[in-house]
Structure formats: C-alpha cells, structure tokens
C-alpha cells in the first residue's frame, strides 16, 4: 500500500548510529561498557530521580521492583484492570496475586477512590499505570498507601517525561518502571529502566538484575538472582534517544494538538483529556468511539485499515483474560466501557500535518 500508517514507528534521528558504532568498534557490545552508566544516570536525572537501573525490558523492571520491595508469595498487589498484561504478570512471577481495580472515566487510569475497598490484610503494595502517557492522580494514591503502609510502583512504561503536578512520573512512588520497546516514546529496541530515590532499593535491584551476585565478592550469590541486564549497545541507542527526549515529547504534543483540532467538531467522539494537574506525554493518541459494541468498533477499525491506517483497540482489561478472570457482574464498568470504545490512532514523531488530516478525515468518514 502506498500510504500506510502504522500505529507506531521509531524515529532514530540523533546520535543512535554513532554511539552504536562506537560500541561495535570498541568491542564493548555486552552488558558492560560506558553507555550503561551514562544512560542510567542521565535517565534518572531527566526523571527527577537519584538512581536509574537499566534492564532488558519493562516487564523485568517491574519484576525487579516488586522483588526488591519485598513482594512475596501470598501477597496481594493492587493493579488497574485496564493495563498491558505485563503489569499483572510481574506480580504473578512473585507468587503474589494482582487484585484488580476499575479505571476512572477521564484519565483511564486506576480509580484512586476505589483502591481502599480492595485492600485486605494481605495487601503489600499498589502498582499504578500511567496509561497511554497520562499520569495517574497520585496524591490520593500516595495517601492511601501511607495510611496502610503499602509500597507504590509507578508503571511508567508508556509515559516517559510525563508529569504529575510538575513532578516527573517515576519519581513519586517508591520507584518507577519504564519500557524502551520499539513502539515507546524513546526506544532501545527492547529495554527497561527503574528509577528510584532510595539507594538501598537501587542496589538491591541492580544486584538482582545480574544474578544476585554480591558486588564485593565475585561468584558469591546470597540469593537467587536473574539475568535482566541491558547491553551497552542498547544503552548507547537509549542515551542518544534520551538526548532528544524533549524533541520526542514535543512531537507527541504536536501530533495530539493536530488531532484535537481535526477531530474536535464531532459531537460524540471523545478525545483524550489532559487533567489540569497533568502533563500528558501522548505515547498514544487515543479516542473513544461513539459505539456500543466491539463489533461496531472493529468494523470502524477495519474500514480505516482499508484506507491504509492501522489502529489498535484498547487493552483487554485483565479481569477478562484467563489467568486473571473475574466474572463478578458489573465489577469493572468503566474499564469495560473504555475497552469497547477505545482505539489508538497512529502516533509517532514523523507524522506530518497532512498525514494527520488524512487519518482524521478518514476516521470522521468512517463514523
């Protein structure tokens, strides 16, 4: 197809090639080398945090964070039902149980007012997810966490550079976890990062990511660890991407503004909101279609695909997936409605004004 618009497409227009070649020429291609520390330090700084721990993806970032915060078998961890499956899976890897909470209408994130009801004597922590780049309303989450002595992980896989009341996401809870998969705001191909202001936690996560070896005694493993390391080449690409983070974020903002302008006239299409306390990073530009069923949504998506426009439905809520099924009727009404109506439109830095005009006109025609 001549004009094909995928949902995402990385832009590698900085020093990515130069730094990757530097790794190859220096032969530092594995998980040691100067770019690891450089990337960790710079990423942490960019996200208002003291420590950054690079790892091989956003899922292992979550697993490392959970283990280091003491998540064990039998514990319960509160998780939004509307998220990517990795959030819940990382809890399961620890032998713990994800306890699902519904979404809120405007931000599509976990409903903070529903968290307290989900707490039991086994609850150990809360994972919030800054879905599609919009930060979670953190103050009420932190309040309830303090009241019940729970840890808070911010799953910021989709929200690099987003802000809550002027603070970067990933710097508010005990730690933040990020993904650098190829479709993310900045990418290392595959990769992840944890941010924290807690030095002890940082040391524990770093150790667990490298087989759990005692840093002062080679081949001494006081606990079972993992190989979740990032390679120097990935860190080199990540560092180059990070140098341009502000540019990447400005492009997402530009795209969101263009879509908002093109789509605002439709009476019943719901455009993404940005709370007045939020800086949205617009990983995905997403809309809620005026439909009542999945079938209607899918037929609009199929129509757009015929015009060369890829779209994605919102994630299945966790409570409908076999490992996390919860059949209580009406327990998650908001997430269910969002799932039926929500789609992600092409959202990547190299989209031009005429591309957005074409995609928007095509969507309005399909409606």
Structure tokens belonging to residue 108:
């599509």
Rounded CA separation 79/319 (Å): 11
The answer to whether the CB of 41 falls within 8 A of the CB of 53 is no
The single residue among 192, 238, 342, 346 that binds ligand PLP, judged by CB under 6 A, is 192
The single residue among 179, 231, 344, 360 that binds ligand PLP, judged by CB under 6 A, is 179
Minimal CB distance residue for ligand PLP: 58
The piece of 3-11, 83-91, 167-175, 241-249 that touches ligand PLP (CB under 6 A) is 83-91
Size of the site for ligand PLP (CB under 6 A): 14
Asked if residue 83 binds ligand PLP (CB under 6 A), the reply is yes
At residue 192, the 3 state secondary structure works out as strand
Please say which residue, 100 or 258, places its beta carbon nearer to ligand PLP: 100
The piece of 80-88, 118-126, 228-236, 358-366 that touches ligand PLP (CB under 6 A) is 80-88
Rounded CA separation 367/356 (Å): 16
Q: CA quadruple 51, 54, 59, 60: dihedral positive or negative?
A: negative
For residue 13, which of 207, 209, 245 has the smallest C-alpha distance? 245
Site string for ligand PLP, 141-170 (x = CB under 6 A): --------------x-xx------------
Residues 207-266 that bind ligand PLP (CB under 6 A): none
User: Tokens 């998540």 sit at which residue?
Assistant: 71
Q: Which of the 8 DSSP states describes residue 174?
A: S
The answer to whether the CB of 48 falls within 8 A of the CB of 197 is no
- Within a 10 A sphere around the Cβ of 341, how many other Cβ atoms? 22
Q: For the chain, percent helix, then strand, then coil, each to nearest 5?
A: 40, 15, 45
The answer to whether the CB of 253 falls within 8 A of the CB of 282 is yes
The answer to whether the CB of 157 falls within 8 A of the CB of 178 is yes
Asked if residue 311 binds ligand PLP (CB under 6 A), the reply is no
Q: In what order do the strands lie in the sheet with 167-168?
A: 167-168, 163-164, 278-279
Closest contact distance (angstroms) between CB of 53 and ligand PLP is: 14
Asked if residue 281 binds ligand PLP (CB under 6 A), the reply is no
Asked if residue 57 binds ligand PLP (CB under 6 A), the reply is yes
Counting every residue, how long is the chain?
Answer: 367
The single residue among 31, 46, 49, 59 that binds ligand PLP, judged by CB under 6 A, is 59
The single residue among 8, 49, 68, 87 that binds ligand PLP, judged by CB under 6 A, is 87
Closest contact distance (angstroms) between CB of 62 and ligand PLP is: 6
Structure tokens belonging to residue 237:
């690409």
What is the β-pairing status of strands 76-80 and 97-101?
parallel
Asked if residue 86 binds ligand PLP (CB under 6 A), the reply is yes
Closest contact distance (angstroms) between CB of 327 and ligand PLP is: 24
Please say which residue, 16 or 158, places its beta carbon nearer to ligand PLP: 158
Please say which residue, 84 or 259, places its beta carbon nearer to ligand PLP: 84
Rounded CA separation 84/311 (Å): 16
Residues 313-332 that bind ligand PLP (CB under 6 A): none
The single residue among 58, 161, 173, 342 that binds ligand PLP, judged by CB under 6 A, is 58
Closest contact distance (angstroms) between CB of 228 and ligand PLP is: 10
Site string for ligand PLP, 121-140 (x = CB under 6 A): --------x-----------
Closest contact distance (angstroms) between CB of 27 and ligand PLP is: 27
Please say which residue, 188 or 262, places its beta carbon nearer to ligand PLP: 188
Structure tokens belonging to residue 235:
């860190």
Rounded CA separation 302/307 (Å): 9
193: β partners: 54, 178
Interface contacts to ligand PLP, rule CB under 6 A: 57-59, 83-84, 86-87, 129, 155, 157-158, 179, 181, 192
């Amino acid at each position: 197809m001549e004009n094909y618009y995928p949902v995402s497409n990385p832009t590698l227009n900085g020093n990515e090639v130069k730094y990757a070649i530097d790794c190859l020429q220096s032969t530092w291609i594995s998980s040691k080398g100067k770019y690891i520390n450089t990337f960790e330090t710079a990423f942490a700084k960019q996200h208002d945090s003291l420590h950054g721990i690079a790892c091989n993806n956003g899922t292992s970032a979550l697993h490392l964070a959970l283990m280091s915060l003491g998540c064990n078998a039998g514990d319960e961890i509160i998780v939004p039902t509307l998220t990517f499956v990795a959030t819940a899976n990382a809890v399961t890897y620890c032998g713990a149980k994800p306890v699902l909470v519904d979404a809120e209408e405007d931000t599509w994130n976990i409903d903070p007012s529903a968290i307290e009801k989900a707490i039991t004597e086994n609850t150990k922590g809360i994972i919030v997810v800054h879905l599609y780049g919009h930060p979670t309303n953190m103050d009420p989450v932190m309040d309830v966490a303090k009241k019940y002595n729970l840890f808070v992980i911010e799953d910021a896989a989709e929200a690099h550079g987003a802000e809550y009341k002027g603070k970067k996401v990933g710097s508010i809870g005990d730690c933040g976890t990020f993904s650098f998969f190829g479709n993310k705001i900045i990418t290392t191909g595959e990769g992840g990062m944890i941010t924290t202001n807690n030095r002890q936690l940082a040391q524990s996560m770093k150790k667990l990511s490298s087989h759990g070896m005692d840093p002062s005694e080679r081949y001494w493993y006081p606990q079972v660890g993992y190989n979740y390391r990032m390679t120097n080449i990935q860190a080199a690409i990540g560092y180059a991407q990070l140098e341009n983070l502000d540019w990447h974020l400005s492009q997402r903002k530009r795209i969101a503004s263009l879509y908002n302008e093109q789509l605002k006239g439709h009476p019943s299409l719901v455009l993404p909101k940005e709370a007045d306390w939020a800086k949205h990073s617009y990983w995905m530009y997403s809309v809620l279609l005026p439909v009542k069923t999945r079938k209607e949504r899918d037929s609009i998506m199929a129509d757009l695909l015929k015009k060369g426009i890829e779209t994605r439905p919102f994630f299945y809520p966790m409570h409908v997936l076999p490992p996390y099924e919860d059949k209580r009727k009406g327990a998650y009404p908001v997430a269910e409605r969002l799932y039926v109506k929500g789609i992600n439109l092409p959202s990547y830095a190299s989209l031009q004004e005429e591309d957005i005009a074409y995609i928007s006109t095509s969507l309005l025609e399909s409606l």
